[in-house]
Amino acid sequence: MSQTTKKSILKDTHIRHLYQRAGFGISPKTVEKLSGLKKKEVVKKLFKSSKSITHLYLPTPDIDAFMQTDTPKKNPKKFRQLIKVSRSKLKDYNLVWVDKMATSNEELRERMTLFWANHFVVRTNNIVFSQHYNATLRKYALGNFRDFVIAIAKEPAMLSYLNNQQNRKGKPNENFARELMELFTLGIGAYTEKDIKESARAFTGWGHTFKGEFVLRKKQHDFGEKEFFGVKGNFNGEDIIDLILKRPECAQFIAKKIYLHFVNDIPNEGRIEELAIVFRENYNIEEVMRHLFMANWFYEKDVIGQKIKSPIDLLVQLKRTIPFSFKKPNEFLYIQRLLGQVLLEPPNVAGWSEGRNWIDSNTMMVRLKLPSVLFMNGTIAFDVKGEFEDSFEEFNKKKSNFNRRLTVTKNWEVFHENYGHLNYEELYHNLISTTTNKGTQEFLQSLKKTNKQEFCVQLMSLPEYQLC
């Protein structure tokens, strides 16, 4: 085998790194199947597995029927009842989304869906709108960014969340126009207050029906001339998006967001510009992601094992390794809240701050104790209030909820099927992606390696397991 051929083959360490960043981890048996392949072949397989789009859908027959035949004004009592149903369904949707991330073979599409959910941030109590929004994220996750932005701008969840329903001629609401540039496409400093005001006029009349269908209310739309980025014209919302994408700052802004999420919390301007050049060519998301995963620097030591797992990353990777479920599903939502990230509940329109923001003294203790709670019948304290105030107050009244033992069903058979053939050193390398410090090494050496289940839980309880 030539030296060139050897260099093009992706090491097992690099395969695991790729699938941790582009997905949510990889089983040893899958690594073995990919072992010995060239980088181009491994990356090609990653993208091929995510070509299909499997939407995440929960049936909501009562809500669907009401939205098709009724209105809040006609039947306010029924509407109030369905609001409660919708909120309950959103909790269920949280759980099935986590399950899908933990079990899907469309690893990259799942990762990209989660990434974009923290970029085009919305929050809604309407399960129908939430599911439609999630479907849009999945559809465009690896597609054309222009089409993506336009589709998101017309989402009922977004139109409601950023008040474009109230954006009308003569009284423009600037909320969506501002966030479109500040958070979704350009970043602070790439536009003026005048640009915000003029673009807000272009989005007047954009709204949705009670059923969630996009509608342009012509009587509320400002058809007058606008001046945006120094260009004059009778612009509508799509025209504004086109003008934004012509700005070089747009590709740079998205490239930096991708770099910080998938590569390193410390920006590298040269690498970011490299991604921006590829992205600026035609705003194809798949092309820029493929370029990223093919870049030699993506597999360098200053990248591997240097990112802190988000709470959802942590939970999904635990679940992929040892599938688990709660007897009381609400307890899983409480775990998410203790860790600092509840799916479908972003803290604000900017989303969750990543990197070191995931960790403080409280969340770190929860993280380190969580594997023993889930897999070894350990206890955990519930002392955090959240969005489920009413039910949580009742839950919190019982003293037994402090240092409480959760009822968790573990599927160790899957663990043994995927990891049982490994020796202890191999098990370590499949679960820990960063270099351990001297204290951790001494701790691991002192462990009696007589039970792979216990050893696995010990590895998951290490501070180094929090990194990927």
pLDDT digits 0-9 by tens, 350-364: 999 999 999 999 999
pLDDT at 389: 39
Q: Which parts of the chain have pLDDT scores under 50?
A: 1-4, 384-393, 395-401
Helix (H, G, I), strand (E, B), or coil: what is residue 27?
coil
Q: What is the pLDDT of residue 404?
A: 74
Buried b (16+ CB within 10 A) or exposed e, 125-160: bbbbbbbbbbbbbbbbbbbebbebbebbbbbbbbbb
328 inside domain: yes
Q: Which long-range contacts (CB under 8 A, 24 or more apart) does 39-48 make?
A: 39/8, 39/9, 39/10, 39/14, 39/294, 40/8, 40/294, 42/10, 42/15, 42/18, 43/18, 43/290, 43/293, 43/294, 46/18, 46/19, 46/22, 46/107, 46/108, 46/293, 47/108, 47/142, 47/286, 47/290
Q: How far is CA 433 from CA 15, 19, 101, 334, 369, in A?
A: 11, 12, 20, 28, 20
Residue 92 belongs to some domain of the structure: no
Q: Does the residue 399 lie in any domain? A: yes
Asked if the structure places residue 441 within a domain, the reply is yes
Specify if 111 maps to a domain: no
Q: How far apart are CA 116 and CA 140, in angstroms?
A: 9
Of 260, 457, 458, give the one whose Cα is nearest residue 356: 260
Q: Are strands 408-410 and 324-326 parallel, antiparallel or unpaired?
A: antiparallel
Structure confidence at residue 440 (pLDDT)? 87
> Beta 206-208 vs 214-216: how paired, if at all?
antiparallel
Please check whether residue 456 lies inside any domain of the structure.
yes
* Domain contains 196: no
Is 294 a member of any domain? no
> Domain limits at 416?
311-466
Q: Structural domain tally of the chain?
A: 1
pLDDT at site 436: 86
Distance CA 47, CA 220 (A): 43
CB 319 within 8 A of CB 98: yes
